[in-house]
Structure 1
Amino acid sequence: MKVVSICLCLFFMFTTIDVNSQAYLDDDNPWILGFGLNVIYDSGEGINGVFDVKDNYNYSNPFRIVIEKRFKNDYGFEVAGSFNRFLEGKNVNGSIAREDTNFFGIEGMFKYYLTNLYLNKYRAMYEGYMSSGVGVGFYDGEMATTANVGIGINYYITESLRLNGQVTGNFSVDNSKVGSNYIQYNLGFIIRLKDDDFN
C-alpha cells in the first residue's frame, strides 16, 4: 500500500507541474537541436527477423544529429544526419555482408504534432508526432534515395530538454544497387531554443 501511495504521489506531482514551467506563447516556435543514437534494421527479412538483434541490427558508430524548426505550433521541419556501419557477417538486404560498409544518411522530414489535438500542449508531459519526407543514404560513397515515414515522441525532462524516441521506415525509390528498404530507430535528447535566444 505504501508503494502505491508513493507512486500516486509521484504521478500527481509530475502531472501537475506549474503551467509556467512549460508555457510557450503561440508565436514562440523554437529551433530544436538534437543528438543521439540510431539502430538500423535492414535484414531484408521483413518482420520475420525483427527479434534477431545480433544478426539483423546495425549499431556500430551509430551517431545522429538533428536540427528542427517548429512553426504554426503544430508543425515542424527537421534535417537530420545519421552515421552507422554495416558490419561484416550481418544480414543486410537479404544477404550476408562480406565486408564492413560505412553508412551516412541525411533526410528532410515534415512533422505534424498530432497530440496537440487532444492534449494541452502547454502542460503535457509528452508530445507525439508523425513525419514524412525524403532521404539520401551513402554506402561507402554510393548514393541511394528513399521516401520516409515515421512516428515519434518527445518526453518532458525540463523546460528546454526533452527525451526523443523515433521510428522511421525508409523505402528505396531509385534503382541504386546499394539502396534498400530499412527501418531506423532513434533515441536521443533534444534542446529547445526560443527565437529570443538568437537576438
Structure 2
Amino acid sequence: MKNLKITGLFLLLLSLVTVNANAQDEDNKWAVGFGVNVVDISSASLSNIGDQVTDYVGVGDWNSLASLSRISLARYIDKGLTVDGAVAINTISKTPSGDYDDLAYYSVDFGARYDLNELVGDTAWFDPYVKFSVGGAWLDSESLGLVLSPTLGFNTWFNDNVGLNVESAYKTSTLGNDDSLVTSGYHFQHSISFILRFDE
C-alpha cells in the first residue's frame, strides 16, 4: 500500500507539470536530490530473463523505508553528459530466501549519465537519460562487493530550479553466492527524489 501511495504521488505531481523548463545544462550545472528508494532482491540470474522481468514488475517483495533514504548530487559536464553520486539506506525484510527482521542495507554509487534529449531534441520539461554506475552495497555487515548498475531514469522540471527525479537501476554484484542473502548477485533499486538545480 505504501508503494502505491508513492506511485500515486508521483503521477499526481507529473500531471501538475505545466511550466516550461529546460534540462540540467551549462546554465544549471549542479543538482542535488532528496528522496526515497526501494530495493527488490532478485533470485533470478541473467540467464533467466523471464523471471527477471516478472520480478521487476512485481511490487510484493519491495523493501522500503517510510522516510528520507536517498541523497544525490549531480554535475553537468558537456554535450548531455552528467556525472553523479548517490548514497542510500534501506531495510530489507523480504528476500527470495525468506523474510528477515529489517536487515540494514546501504549503497554508494558513482555514475555517468547521458541525456537522451541530445538524440531526440529538447523536450523542455522532460529529461530522460541512460546511466551506468559503479559502487558498493552492504547488507547488514555483509559486503556485496563491487556493484555495477545500468540505469534508466528521467528528470521532470516544475520550474527553472525544482524538479522530480525517477531512476530504476539493475544492480549486479560480484559477491553473490549461496551463503549470501543476495544469492544470485542481482537486485533492483528504484528511487524517486525531489531535485534542486543551481549554477556555481
Q: Does residue 1:119 correspond to 2:121, yes or no?
A: yes
Amino acid at match of 2:108: I
Name the residue aligned to 1:8.
none
Measured in 2, the distance between the counterparts of 1:149 and 1:137 equals 15
Name the residue aligned to 2:151.
150
Which of 73, 77, 80 is the equivalent residue of 1:71?
A: 77
- Percent identity over paired residues: 22
User: How far apart are 1:189 and its partner, in Å?
Assistant: 1.1
| CA distance 1:71–1:118, change in 2 (3 Å) | same
| CA distance 1:142–1:60, change in 2 (3 Å) | same
| 3-state SS, counterpart of residue 101 of structure 2 | coil
Unaligned runs of at least 5 residues, structure 2: 1-14, 45-51
Q: How do residues 1-199 of structure 1 correspond to structure 2 at under 5 angstroms?
A: 14=18, 17=20, 22=22, 27-28=26-27, 30-45=29-44, 46-50=52-56, 52-54=58-60, 56-61=61-66, 63-87=69-93, 90=94, 92=95, 94-120=96-122, 124-144=124-144, 145-174=146-175, 177-179=180-182, 180-195=185-200
Amino acid at match of 1:96: G
Name the residue aligned to 1:4.
none
| 3-state SS, counterpart of residue 156 of structure 2 | strand
Amino acid at match of 1:101: L
What do the CA deviations read for 1:18-77 (whole angstroms, capped 9, x no partner)? xxx6498x74351110011111111415333445433x1101356100011111141111
What do the CA deviations read for 1:123-180 (whole angstroms, capped 9, x no partner)? x111110000212011112211211100111111010111111111001123563552
| 3-state SS, counterpart of residue 33 of structure 1 | strand
Work out the number of aligned pairs and report it. Answer: 172
TM superposition score normalised by structure 2? 0.75
| 3-state SS, counterpart of residue 28 of structure 1 | coil
- Whether the 8 Å contact between 1:142 and 1:178 is mirrored in structure 2 is no
User: How far apart are 1:115 and its partner, in Å?
Assistant: 1.6
| 3-state SS, counterpart of residue 53 of structure 1 | coil
What do the CA deviations read for 1:88-110 (whole angstroms, capped 9, x no partner)? xx2x1x31034321001000111
| CA distance 1:23–1:77, change in 2 (3 Å) | closer
